[in-house]
Structure 1
Amino acid sequence: MMLIPGHFWPSTATVAERKAVESFLNERNIRIETLNQPNLDVNLAALTPECRNYSCGVVASALELAADWGATGVVVNPGKTNPVFPASLEKLTECFQSSLDILVPRAAELQVQLIVKNHPLSWLYKGTDLLSFFNRYGWTSIGLGYDIANAAFGRDPAVDVIPQLKKHLSAIYVADTPLEDFRHDPLGGGAVSFEPIAQVLESIDYRGPSIFEIVSADPDRAILESASFLNKFWRPR
Structure 2
Amino acid sequence: MHPVNAAFAVNTYSYTLRGSARAAVQALAGRGFREFELMMYPGHLWPDEVDAAQRRDWRAWAEGEGLTIRTLNMPNVDLNIAAATAEMRAMTLGLLRRFVVLAGDIGAQGVVLGPGKANPLLPMPHEQMVAHFHAALDELVPLAARHGTAIFVENMPFAFLPRAAELLEAVEASAHPDLGIVYDVANGHFVHEDPAAGLRRCAGRLQVVHLSDTTQASFRHDAVGLGTVDFTAIPGVLQSIGFKRRPVLEIIDPDPDRAIDQSARRLEAAGWT
| TM-score class, shorter | over 0.9
Gaps of 5+ in 1: none
Distance across 2 between alignment mates of 1:103 and 1:31: 22
Post-superposition Cα deviations, 1:142-189, rounded to whole Å, max 9, x if no partner, equal: 100000111111112212221121110000000001111111000012
* Aligned-partner SS, 2:78: coil
Q: Hey, what does 1:35 align to over in structure 2? A: 72
Q: Hey, what does 2:251 align to over in structure 1? A: 214
Alpha-carbon contact 1:185-1:215 (below 8 Å) kept: yes
1:132 is the counterpart of 2:169: yes
Distance across 1 between alignment mates of 2:53 and 2:105: 13
* Aligned-partner SS, 1:171: strand
Give the C-alpha shift of residue 122 in structure 1: 0.3
Q: Larger deviation: 17-26 or 185-194?
A: 17-26
* Aligned-partner SS, 2:39: coil
Alpha-carbon contact 1:108-1:141 (below 8 Å) kept: no
Give the C-alpha shift of residue 232 in structure 1: 1.8
Q: Which has the higher contact order (CA 8 A, sep 6+)?
A: 2
Distance across 2 between alignment mates of 1:97 and 1:147: 21
1:26 is the counterpart of 2:63: yes
1:227 is the counterpart of 2:261: no
Q: 1:66-81 to 2 correspondence within 5 Å? A: 66-81=103-118
Distance across 1 between alignment mates of 2:251 and 2:213: 8
TM-score with structure 1 setting the length: 0.94
Post-superposition Cα deviations, 1:208-236, rounded to whole Å, max 9, x if no partner, equal: 23000001111111111100000123435
1:169 is the counterpart of 2:206: yes
Distance across 2 between alignment mates of 1:26 and 1:131: 33
Distance across 2 between alignment mates of 1:210 and 1:93: 28
Alpha-carbon contact 1:144-1:170 (below 8 Å) kept: yes
The number of residue pairs the alignment matches comes to 236
Alpha-carbon contact 2:183-2:210 (below 8 Å) kept: yes
Post-superposition Cα deviations, 1:3-39, rounded to whole Å, max 9, x if no partner, equal: 1124211123344443442232132121100101121
TM-score with structure 2 setting the length: 0.82
Q: Hey, what does 1:10 align to over in structure 2? A: 47
Q: 1:161-200 to 2 correspondence within 5 Å? A: 161-200=198-237
Q: Larger deviation: 92-101 or 182-191?
A: 92-101
Distance across 2 between alignment mates of 1:214 and 1:161: 20
Give the C-alpha shift of residue 78 in structure 1: 0.3
* Aligned-partner SS, 1:33: strand
Q: Hey, what does 1:85 align to over in structure 2? A: 122
Give the C-alpha shift of residue 141 in structure 1: 4.3
1:61 is the counterpart of 2:98: yes
- Please, which of 126, 149, 159 is the counterpart of residue 122 of structure 1? 159
Distance across 2 between alignment mates of 1:140 and 1:177: 32
Post-superposition Cα deviations, 1:96-131, rounded to whole Å, max 9, x if no partner, equal: 112112112212222311110000000112111111
Post-superposition Cα deviations, 1:58-93, rounded to whole Å, max 9, x if no partner, equal: 111111111111111000110101111211101111
Cα 1:109–1:17 change in 2 (3 A) is closer
Cα 1:113–1:140 change in 2 (3 A) is farther
* Aligned-partner SS, 1:185: coil
